[in-house]
Amino acid sequence: MANRLFRTKSIHDLMNEATDTHHGFKRVLTATNLTTLGIGAIIGAGIFVLTGQAAAQYAGPGIVLSFIISGLACAFAGLCYAEFASMIPIAGSAYTYAYATLGEFLAWIIGWDLILEYLFAASTVSVGWGGYVVSFLRDFGIFLPTNLTAATGTVLIDVPMHGWQQLTQYLNHSLIAQGINVESLPHVTSVINVPAMFIVAILTALLVIGIRESANFNNIMVITKVSVIILFIGVGIAFVKSANWHPFIPPNTGISGHFGWSGILRGAGVIFFAYIGFDAVSTAAQEAKNPQKHMPIGILGSLSISTVLYILVALILTGIVSYTELNVPDPMAVGVNAMGPGMFWLRPIVKLAAIAGLSSVILVMLLGQPRIFFSMAKDGLLPPVFSKVHPRFKTPYISTLLTGSVALVLAGILPISILGELVSIGTLLAFAIVCASILVLRRSKPDLPRPFRTPFVPVIPILGALICIIQMVSLPLDTWLRLVIWMAIGFIIYFTYGIRKSKLNKSIEANQQ
């Protein structure tokens, strides 16, 4: 049994798959497309939603340090990803890399983990998208029914001027400061988040139609949001009040993860989800024109640009307004409000950029997941239906529709906090395994051609894995419990289906007979 669990897939076989012209995908993505795909996935909920919430709940202005810690972990992991992506340029991402180095069972674990990552990431970001859309429409006097704009069971203030904002202590403080009695306001319990479900449905349909169309849409969204983020940074720097940065690291409240250095680590773990874009780049390897050359550019280029923008926005935002006022779904809009009435013209522009930015993130997340399904089904670990490619559109349409349907339901019923933490722990686990895989492959197959080589091995992979594990440890216990439950379900599926249907095991056993 142990031999079957840890059999690795031949690099030679993987390279044959990479050059196979009959896999059904179109090779249309350039280095620019791959970089914008990465930026499209990275710059989204992290900068438009989670920056403010993590600052308010965990790190204060020190959220900048949280981004630096997460960025370092991603830089190390990104270098490891770049080596793998140039060596094994096929769909599957970390799942495929683990299959080539650590064996089938660990490949299954990482593949199942990636399902958690992408499904919940698309749902998480769609919740943020819905928040900005509701806020944007409210600015123009259009009020959606409050009970259809948040996670199931969320208690909301049912007043148009306050819209759908959740009753948190920070929001209460803001309302009280305005002389408003929170308890006197009418409340409503949300039924479902319709805006979040709507955007998932639209983008799922676009992904079924084709990768070229999806990439073109993503390019437009990326240009829009990066331009406005640069505008926000350039304008906002004039409104920074240095007093808002003091204390830069608020003292710990006595509870682990609430401010202090433990809060910075907790914040880093929570916002880490925002960096998963370069993982999504690697899932599109079979649709890249020149994957050996362009994959490292797409992965490292998108990561570098996004990290710089994250740090700058975090600095400006916490400098414009006190971090205690940022636990809202649209923190950048709060920052614009704090600039004064003369800057209200920037408010709808920022919200439009957020809507565009979050749209591209959802698109890339929904793009990545079906390609993981595709690779696992091709290996026999999932039913063959997941590897079906549409005869006209040349996309994995069944797995795309399944991914979109599940993400749609999750987006409608779960709050962004639970979704975001689940994505973060799944992403951290994936990155840690990829870093470890580089060490294994360098020792077991040192002579393999490597168009891109991770520098300073073994230091970079070890640091990458170590920082990821530290951030995982800092996440809440209930997040770990949800991960354990998810993995238990995965083990059941693997041992009742995957191990029996594995094409690798069947091939090896056939050759031995």
User: How far apart, in Å, are the Cα atoms of 480 and each of 124, 206, 471?
Assistant: 18, 34, 12
Q: Collapsing DSSP states into helix, strand and coil, what is residue 83?
A: helix
- As a whole number, mean pLDDT of residues 458-486 equals 88
What 8-state DSSP symbol labels residue 63?
Answer: H
User: How many degrees, rounded to 5, is the angle at CA 53 between CA 471 and CA 126?
Assistant: 95
For residue 502, what pLDDT is reported? 92
- Interacting residues of 471 by C-beta distance below 8 A, sequence separation 6+: 69, 70, 73, 265, 268, 269, 272, 424, 428
Residue 144: CA count within 13 A, CB half-sphere: 20
DSSP alpha helix (H) spans, 140-188: 169-177
What percentage of residues in the chain have a pLDDT greater than 90?
20
Interatomic CA distance for residues 167 and 328, integer angstroms = 10
Architecture of the domain made up of 2-154+190-474: Up-down Bundle (1.20)
How far apart (Å, rounded) are the C-alpha atoms in residues 214 and 41? 13
Contact 330, 351 (CB under 8 A): yes
Domain ranges for the chain, please list them. Answer: 2-154+190-474
55-95 pLDDT, tens digit per residue, is: 999 999 999 999 888 888 888 988 898 888 788 767 656 78
Neighbour count for residue 499 (Cβ, 10 Å): 18
CB within 8 Å of 11: residues ≥ 6 apart: 87, 88, 100, 445, 448
- The predicted-structure confidence for 235-280, as pLDDT tens digits, reads as follows 999 999 999 999 999 998 887 778 999 899 888 877 776 776 667 7
Query: Is residue 411 scored above 50 in pLDDT?
Result: yes
Cα 342–344–350 angle (5° rounding)?
Answer: 135
